[in-house]
Each structure stands twice: as C-alpha cells, then as structure tokens.
C-alpha cells in the first residue's frame, strides 16, 4: 500500500504541471496572422518574438513583424475605408476575450465589426522575410520537449499499472483515463485561462464552436462546477482507482461510468438541440466515456464491492489535484492579465507625462561625455562610475539605445572639476543616474525599457 501511495503522490505532482508552456491570445493571433500571410513560423520563434514587456499588445505584434522583415502599418479609420484594404489584416477588438480578429474574407469582417474598436494592422511580406524550413518538424520536436512531464507521467502510470495487473483490459482502461484527463485539462485551460492552445479545433464552421458551448448556461452545474471540472474529476478518479486498488475497483468504476453516461447524454442533447453548437473536446470526453463503459461491461468480472475507503481516497486525491491545477491555470491567466496592464506604462504619452513629473537637470556639455547614437528628438544621459557594479548592467542596453536616440555617458571618475561641480548643483549622488530629455528617469522604469518606449 505504501508503494502505491508513493506513486500516487508522484502522479499528483506531475499532473499539476501539465501543458506548462502554452500560447496566449496574442501569440496565437500572431501565429495565425503569419499563416494567413503565407509565412510559416515555428511556435518557438513566435514565443521568443513576443517575450517582451509589450508582447501582449498590438505594438508587440508590430515589433515582431518588423523583426521578421514584414512591412506593416497600423491604421485607425472608419469602417467605410476597410474595403480599401487587401486581405488579410488584423482587427483590434474591444471588450472581447479574443483581443484580435484575423480577417481573410468578407464574412469574417462582418462578424468582427460589432466588436471592432477602429484599429487595424495591415502587413505584407518582403523579399527579406526569412523562410523557415521543416516548420512542422520543429513544432513537433518543440511539443515533445515541452511535454516531457506528460511523457514521464504516462510512463509512470503505465509501468505501475502493468506491475499491478498486467493485462490488456487494465491497460486499455488506464489508456482511456489518461486521454480523458488530457482532454479535460485542455478544457480547464479554456475555462480558467487565456489559453488558445485548442483554438485550431474549437471553431470550425458555424456548427463547431467550443467557446459558445463552454460559455453557455448548460455547461455549469450548481453554479460553480463546469463540464471541464466534472471531466477532470471523473477520469482522474477512474485512474486512481486502478492505481490504489488491486481488486474491487471495477465495480466502483462501472458505477461512475453509468453516472458519467447520463451526463454525456445530457451533454449531447443540450449541444445539438438547445444551443445548436458542438464542442469537439466535449464530444471527445463523451466518446471516451462510452468506450470505457463498453470495455468495463464486456470484459470486467464484477467481484464484490471493495472497501468504500478506496473510492473515497481516490476522490480526495482527484480533488486535491484539481484544486492545484485550477490554481496554477488561474495564475497563468493573472500573469497574462498583469503583463497586459503593465504594458500601458510603455505608451509614449504616459511615459512623457511621468517623466515631466521628475526633477529637471541641466544639460551637461558634450566635452565631458562620451557621445554616440543618432541626432534625434531624444537624448539619454547616463552617469556612471568604473567601480559601480550596477553600471556594468547599463552598458549592455546602451548599444541598443544608440540606434534610436542620442546617448551621452558621463564618468564620475573624470578629473575635470566641471563634472564635480555639475553633480553638486544637480544633486547627483548615486550611479547609475539616468536622465532622459533633461529629466531623471522615473523609478518605475529601467534603462532597458527605453528601447520599447522611445522607438514608438
């Protein structure tokens, strides 16, 4: 019994980290938009391009297209002018979970217009746009690498089940339970996070629409339980019954399956006759339940009912795993939301207002500074000292800033008395001190943020 509990704990821990790497709304929108432009880019490249402070915004998408040498422009215009734009283009949606809509034809445009906020992004690939070979292979390898915990989980479960009951019937039941858990986790991510990892299968034509099913009233039970919650409870309990008990699990499993079949009948009838929409993932759960029911009723010898503590313990473990899984999925949603809110700080207008509230400093003469960069509207002055450790981290950002602004580096180790007098007058007492256009950089920013702000 102790060894089984030990494996159960391992299984619980691994389950919490299922699908750790996912694509959020903006990553999915960029990937699909690139495909509509006829450009195939691996998922890993998309994630890397949007891994910036502005990666959750339209600005992040535009910067990513620039990195891929794709000509793009953002317009704010009335809907009458949309007919002048060539397909495809990207619409920015207001008050919508999707955030963006990829428009490739008139039907998609008419559907997105009620949620459109007036901003579009048009793009066109160029001769300099990189071509990625074997994208499908790179995506497959990326998925395998990111799913290594899932593979470990499956291997542990299958190996332990074979040790307990090495027969085809038990292994088939375990296999169906594993598939059911994975499908349920995908639905949990749709319900509790901003994930779009299932988007390619969730909207096909007018009849197949997972989001409409998951958002409907019939997908909730007793106001707090969703179809995804019940599916996760159901399949994880089925799995732990096998792992924890040698005998007697078949009867408990059959009772659960009979109850599950009642829910599947309700699910099918509700989707087809009430909302006239179908969720492929929900239908997959129904199919797995029916297959497992057929498997149990036709192959399992039904012994006397085992101790109810086995069943209760399995339900308890399933509840704990569900609780931690939902908490982690919800945390990823909160992280995405926080990044989206913090991206407001990178708007040029807000930055300039915050900058104007900081103390103003005199401009130091170029004779006492090491100057680089371009002569533009922005000037960045950085006061450093050779013995300052933090100053070394600033140097890495200066080379990038010199491409978009004029940069002046002033060393406080200089022997010129004018530098010392300047620091006394302007109360420069620490390094690095960063000055942008005559004002000290607000504490909410660091020098690395300027490349996202001054570029706009």
The helix (run of H) or strand (run of E) holding residue 133 is none
Please calculate the CA angle 189-30-37 and round it to the nearest 5 degrees. Answer: 135
- Order across the sheet with 370-373: list the strands: 370-373, 406-411, 379-384, 433-436, 439-440
User: What average pLDDT does the structure give for the chain?
Assistant: 77
pLDDT at 156 over 80: no
pLDDT tens for 78-91 read 888 888 888 999 99
Please tell me the total number of residues recorded for the chain in this structure. 456
Q: Cα–Cα distance between 200 and 185 in angstroms, integer?
A: 16
pLDDT at 374 over 60: yes
What pTM did the predictor assign?
Answer: 0.55
What is the per-residue pLDDT for 22?
A: 44
pLDDT tens for 389-432 read 788 778 777 877 888 888 888 888 877 788 888 888 888 888 88
Cβ atoms within 10 Å, residue 228: 26
The second-level CATH assignment, the architecture, of 354-453 is 3-Layer(aba) Sandwich (3.40)
Q: Where are the domains of the chain?
A: 2-13+147-341, 25-135, 354-453
The second-level CATH assignment, the architecture, of 2-13+147-341 is Up-down Bundle (1.20)
What is the per-residue pLDDT for 290?
A: 92
**Lowest mean pLDDT segment, chosen from 191-195, 217-221, 260-264, 289-293:** 191-195
Are the C-beta atoms of 34 and 341 separated by less than 8 Å?
Answer: no
What is the per-residue pLDDT for 303?
A: 53
The two domains 2-13+147-341 and 25-135 share their CATH topology (first three levels equal)? no
Smallest Cα–Cα separation from 143: which of 281, 47, 11, 38? 47
Q: What is the CATH number of domain 25-135?
A: 3.90.70.10
**Lowest mean pLDDT segment, chosen from 31-40, 120-129, 211-220:** 211-220
């Amino acid at each position: 019994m102790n060894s089984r509990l030990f494996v159960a704990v391992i299984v619980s821990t691994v389950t919490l980290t299922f699908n750790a790497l996912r694509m959020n709304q903006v990553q999915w929108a960029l990937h699909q938009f690139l495909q509509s432009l006829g450009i195939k880019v691996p998922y890993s490249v998309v994630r890397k391009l949007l891994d910036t402070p502005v990666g959750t915004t339209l600005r992040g998408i535009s910067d990513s297209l620039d990195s891929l040498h794709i000509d793009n422009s953002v317009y704010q215009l009335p809907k009458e002018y949309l007919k002048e734009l060539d397909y495809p283009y990207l619409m920015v949606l207001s008050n919508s979970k999707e955030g963006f809509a990829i428009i490739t034809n008139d039907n998609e445009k008419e559907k997105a217009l009620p949620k459109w906020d007036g901003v579009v992004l048009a793009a066109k690939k160029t001769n300099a746009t990189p071509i990625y070979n074997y994208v499908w292979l790179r995506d497959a390898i990326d998925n395998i690498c990111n799913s290594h915990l899932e593979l470990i989980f499956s291997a542990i479960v299958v190996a332990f089940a074979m040790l307990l009951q090495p027969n085809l019937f038990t292994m088939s039941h375990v296999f169906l339970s594993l598939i059911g858990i994975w499908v349920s986790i995908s639905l949990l991510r749709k319900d509790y996070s901003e994930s779009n990892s299932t988007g390619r299968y969730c909207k096909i034509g007018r009849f197949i629409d997972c989001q409409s099913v998951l958002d409907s009233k019939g997908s909730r039970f007793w106001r707090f339980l969703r179809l995804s919650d019940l599916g996760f409870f159901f399949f994880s309990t089925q799995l732990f019954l096998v792992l924890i008990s040698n005998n007697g699990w078949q009867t408990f499993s059959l009772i659960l399956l009979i109850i599950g079949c009642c829910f599947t009948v309700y699910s099918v009838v509700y989707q087809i006759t009430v909302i006239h929409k179908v969720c492929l993932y929900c239908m997959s759960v129904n199919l797995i339940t029916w297959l497992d029911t057929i498997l149990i009723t036709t192959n399992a010898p039904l012994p006397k009912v085992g101790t109810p503590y086995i069943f209760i313990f399995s339900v308890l473990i399933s509840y704990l795993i569900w609780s931690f899984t939902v908490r982690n999925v919800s945390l990823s949603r909160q992280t995405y939301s926080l990044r989206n809110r913090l991206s407001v700080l990178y708007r040029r207008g807000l930055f300039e207002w915050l900058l104007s509230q900081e103390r103003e400093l005199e401009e130091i003469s170029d004779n006492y500074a090491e100057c680089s960069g371009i002569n533009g509207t922005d000037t960045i002055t950085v006061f450093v000292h050779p013995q300052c450790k933090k100053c070394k981290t600033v140097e890495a950002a200066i080379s990038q800033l010199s491409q978009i602004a004029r940069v002046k580096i002033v060393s406080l180790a200089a022997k010129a008395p004018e530098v010392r007098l300047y620091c006394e007058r302007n109360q420069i007492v620490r390094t690095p001190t960063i000055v942008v256009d005559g004002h000290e950089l607000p504490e909410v920013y660091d020098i690395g943020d300027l490349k996202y702000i001054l570029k706009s």
